[in-house]
A and B are shown apart, each in its own frame.
Chain A
Amino acid sequence: MELYMSLAIGVIFTVGVYLILSKSLLRIILGTSLLTHGVHLLLLTMSRLKTGAAPLLGQKADAYVDPLPQALILTSIVISFGVTSFFFVLAYKAYQRLGTDDMERLRGKDDE
């Protein structure tokens, strides 16, 4: 399972990076969303998949899965929600004011 998961993570990262390198703002934002998913799955895979029960001590299981990546991912999910929202608003505000969503045309020049 870890092998296929690693390959899937590779695909997600590839597409995510390809999208953030493109010219359209919308594609860039979707790219960051995909990258977040990739990171989450990477963290989860790192701790090995399916090695025990969910980390709820009430279950009285012999082994539990690693709770640490889960705590990290939980934080990350909420943060990335905030960041993605910010990106979205920034993108459409930039489009409203500047009339383009093409990164090549939004390029900064000297002392602007």
Chain B
Amino acid sequence: MSLLHIVILLPFILAVFVPVLHKWSKRLHTGWFVLPAPAALFVYLLGWLPNVQEGERMTASLPWIPSLGIDFTVYVDGLGLLFALLITGIGTLVVLYSIFYLDKGKEAIGHFYVYLLLFMGAMLGVTLSDNVIVLYGFWEITSISSFLLIAFWHHREKSRYGALKSMLITVLGGLAMLGGFALVYVMAGTFSIRELVGSAADIAEHDLFIPAMLLILLGAFTKSAQFPFHIWLPDAMEAPTPVSAYLHSATMVKAGLYLVARFSPVFAGEPAWFWLIAASGIATLLYGSYRALKQTDLKAMLAFSTVSQLGLIMSLLGLGSAAAVYTGTSESLFYAKATLAGIFHLMNHAVFKGALFMVVGIVDYETGTRDIRRLGGLMSVMPVTFSAALIGALSMAGLPPFNGFLSKEMFFTAVLNIRELDVWNMAFWGAFFPVIAWIASVFTFLYSMLLLFKTFAGKKQFEKLAKKPHEAPLGMLLPPVVLASLAVVFGLFPNLLSYSLIEPAMAAIHPAMLDAGAKFHVSISFWHGWTAEIYMTIGVVAAGILLYKLYPRLSLLNRPLFTRFSLNKTYDGGIGRLDGSAKWLTDRYMTGSVRHYLIYILFFLIVSVAMTMAGSGGMRVDLSDFAPMSLYEAVIIFALVASVIAVPFARSRMMAIILTGTAGYMVTLFFVIFRAPDLALTQMIVETVSVTLFLLCFYHLPKLKKELARLRFKLSNFLIALGVGAVMTAVALSASSGRSFESISGYFLENSYKLAGGKNVVNVILVDFRGFDTMLEIVVLGIASLGIYALIKLGPDAVGTADGRPAQVLAADGRDIRSNDVILKTISKAVIFVILTFSLYLFFSGHHEPGGGFIGGLMTAAAFVLLTMAFGMKAMRDIVPVDFRKVTAAGIIAALLTGMGSFFFGEPFLSHAFGYFDLPLLGHVELATAMLFDLGVYLTVVGITMTIILAIGRDK
């Protein structure tokens, strides 16, 4: 962890504390706590400028998943630093602006700043990460925080729609990009961008080169709102204006441009790269500027303007990639001017568009509307806002002396230069670029003027406004004024940027053009003489003014062109159909019938087990080594099978339950024969308690009706059942016909006494070797018993009867499960004590002889059940006045504490110890911590059994 990592993580860390700060400060706006973070980062990053300018690269790495080549590596070069400064610089102004834009009392600003900081950190992560997988992670966080910010006013339908749309489109692109990164890894064997650039020449001939490029470009185009993926950006304008200024104009939408610039050293020189980026960029430029003309909402106008300007920068990056063809010659520099213009315009756009968004926010804030048909004449009441708007709009229109003029001139230079390119069919197509660029510039000029004059000049029509407009507060004016001033400063002194930022960024995009240690020398001058570019600008202004005059009369400019078909309708229809078909498909198999779901599961079981056994050769039957069958066993097996087969044919509930019970007792007998005394004891008691339980529930269940079902229903059930039975027989036969590998049981037999001091291996496995399993098992049992208790006690009908008296009391007193049998009562008195004593014996001897916590607990519970049956609930409560749910809890806690006890001795959870002691009366005995654990099990089992039985017994 170095300072470089802190730069990225600082916003995230602050985001954690924002909710606390928000609650804690009642009066101070939360934004004031957030403001220092981007400001400090900006100042800190500025300090790196001289180093980076000298060609120094800073890097720091933190291992994350080294086995997969994924490390959190921060890498700072000219390009990354440029973006980081943009993110923190604009971020500072946006936070300041938002403090006045969002009211502390009315808006959920606690959330707002968490999202905004998330975004800021993620965006820094995108631009400063060297590892593409880390970059991807941050990339998706920017999509998610953008989603949250667009939906900030989530009670509005349109906000939610816009948020979802932006998320779906950008995340789709993000996934494609991840696929591209994976392909890149397949080709180059690295996730590091630096190493990738180093091996760029080796992978250019690879089959996956073009697919990887297409996937990465899909990510870039969706994020940077390139046609036809731009449709999310206008809908994203539902976000609060500071968000629009920050995410959807200055930073996040430029992530796609960053990606293209970052991967330029890898892909540049490839004709597809040039064509896709240059053509989609120039098309987006034209389309966006044309659509911006027709908007009446100021923010929508700015949204389409942003789309178009992003297209402009994208096309410049594409044109610049032509330089890679001429690496090493002077022509290379000739084409690299496009990249230079792109970087310069990227900054200029952030400056003037940021200012314009903030101005529009002020207008909206002060007048209550953004509709240019209702606005007008604001110049006189909002002079400062107007000044900022004037500078921003003129800069966007490309007029001197503002920064937008310079970058637009350079754009014209680049499109004129590209005509000279004589590869990739450019001899024919090259002429189209200047023409389209010129037309789009006319449109840009036109909508800039519309934006400016429709809002601030013209007739005052304040009566149409919701409130009387006046100048905004100082804090809100400051950020746009700062940005507008920068538009002037960068316009007059462009070389402020060219030395400090543009040269290092160029070095990152065109590394191959530089000899080791060399630097680019960029100098942007204001006046080149009477060149083609300047005539083009004069033409733009002339045509723009003409069209501005004609604008109201030209429906081509102010009406929608196509109404029948639109990309938005295609998107909506696509989403709708996707939803519909997903529902249709789901409805086909999610029928709501448990039987159907069971059939899917069982069918899958049959097929997968049968196929695995057939495929792996696991199916084998070797009868030779099987044990012979004795007469007893034959009788038991016959009784078992007969009673099981009879269950489906039983006509009454009682019969079915007794038959099932019989099967249980037969299984118990098998446990006896096959040398499993612990199991036999457990099964016997459980079977007894279960039958009691069944009989208690029996009252509540309806009579067993004959299954009135069609033959097809029964037959399909029977076939599935037969399949499962056959598969299980095969599994049993194969498993007992020999082992594929050595069993681990030998270890337990060998070490049970040596390591755990117990002779009953089964018990030792439960409480010692596999103690953690048992621990969780008693927790599960506790949950099951509470579930039963809740079902009975806390159901809606258990709250009270209609007349308000508690129903449970009535039921408990009204009918008790007490027996009237005198013989039972008399015998029980004696037998209960015998059972209880025996249960204690089973519990204590469990470590060496059959028994233990489970068996002892069940036996004790059986004694209590007998007590309840014979003498009734009330007697039970009087004799054993404890809450059995608390017994369960005590048991689990005892087991847990025993397990944690081993921490004091520096041992892992549930390490047991044992020793031999001479005690009075008892003599030489062994004491083991496993006994304490087993006590927990014992208490839990008693607790849950009694909770279940008593809860059911008490139910009305």
Q: Which A residues are closer than 8 A to B by beta carbons?
A: 1-27, 30, 33-34, 37-38, 40-42, 44-58, 64-68, 70-71, 73-75, 77-79, 81-86, 88-93, 95-97, 101, 103-104, 107-110
Q: Would you give 29 A-B contacts (Cβ < 8 Å), ordered by A?
A: A1-B627, A4-B629, A12-B644, A14-B724, A19-B647, A21-B721, A37-B664, A42-B728, A44-B670, A46-B735, A47-B736, A49-B736, A54-B676, A55-B762, A56-B761, A57-B761, A66-B745, A67-B765, A70-B762, A74-B766, A82-B784, A82-B944, A82-B948, A88-B697, A101-B702, A107-B591, A107-B592, A107-B594, A108-B592
Q: Is the interface of A mostly helix, strand, loop or mixed?
A: helix
**Per-residue interface assignment for chain B, residues 695 to 734, with 1 indicating a CB less than 8 Å from any chain A CB and 0 otherwise:** 0010011101101010000000110111011101101110
Asked whether B777 lies within 8 Å of A24 as measured between CB atoms, the reply is no
Q: Out of B657, B761, B774, B849, name the residue touching A30 (CB < 8 Å).
A: B657
Interface size in chain B (residues, C-beta < 8 A): 108
Contact indicator B660/A74 (Cβ below 8 Å): no
- Minimal beta-carbon separation of B669 from chain A (angstroms): 12
Chain B residues in 8 Å Cβ range of A81 = 686, 689-690, 945
CA distance A104 to B389 in the complex (A): 69
Find out whether the CB atom of A1 lies under 8 angstroms from the CB atom of B626.
yes
- Whether B744 pairs with A75 at a CB distance below 8 angstroms is no
Q: Check B520 for interface membership: any CB of A closer than 8 A.
A: no
Contact across chains for B626 and A2 when beta carbons are under 8 A apart: yes
Q: Which residues of A contact B729 (CB under 8 A)?
A: 6-7, 9-10, 13
**Are A85 and B744 in contact, with the CB atoms below 8 A?**
no
Is B602 in the interface zone, CB < 8 Å from A? yes
Select B788's contact among A9, A75, A86, beta carbons within 8 Å.
Answer: A86
A33 to chain B minimum Cβ distance, whole angstroms, is 5
Query: Across the interface, which residues of B come within 8 angstroms of A101, CB to CB?
Result: 701-702
Q: Determine how close the nearest CB of chain B comes to the CB of A99; give it in whole angstroms.
A: 9
A-contact 0/1 string along B818-861, CB 8 Å cutoff: 00000000000000000000000000000011100010001000
**Alpha-carbon separation in the docked complex, A3 to B683 (Å):** 24
B753 with A57: CB separation less than 8 A: yes
Q: Smallest CB–CB gap between B948 and chain A, Å? A: 5
Complex: A19 Cα to B645 Cα, angstroms: 11
Q: Which of A16, A51, A57, A71 has the most CB of B within 10 A?
A: A71
A-contacting residues of B (Cβ < 8 Å)? Answer: 591-595, 598-599, 602, 623, 626-629, 633-634, 637, 640-641, 644-645, 647-648, 653, 656-657, 660, 663-664, 667, 670-671, 673-679, 682-683, 686, 689-690, 693-694, 697, 700-702, 704-705, 707, 709, 717-718, 720-722, 724-726, 728-729, 731-733, 735-737, 743-745, 748-749, 752-753, 759-762, 765-766, 770, 773-774, 777, 780-781, 784-785, 787-788, 791-792, 795-797, 848-850, 854, 858, 941, 944-945, 948, 951-952
Q: Verify B780–A57 contact, CB threshold 8 A.
A: no
- Is A26's CB under 8 angstroms from B647's CB? no
Name, among A89, A92, A107, the residue most crowded by chain B CB atoms within 10 Å (CB to CB).
A89
Query: A18-B648, A23-B709 in contact; A4/B677 too (CB < 8 A)?
Result: no
What separation, in Å, do the CA atoms of A78 and B384 have in the docked complex?
A: 80
Q: Is the CB of A46 within 8 A of B725?
A: no
Q: What is the chain A residue whose CB lies nearest that of B726?
A: A10
Instruction: Give the docked Cα–Cα distance between A2 and B637 (Å).
Output: 12
11 more contacts with CB within 8 A, not counting A88-B694, A89-B948, are: A23-B595, A26-B653, A27-B704, A30-B656, A56-B759, A57-B752, A57-B760, A71-B766, A82-B780, A97-B796, A109-B592
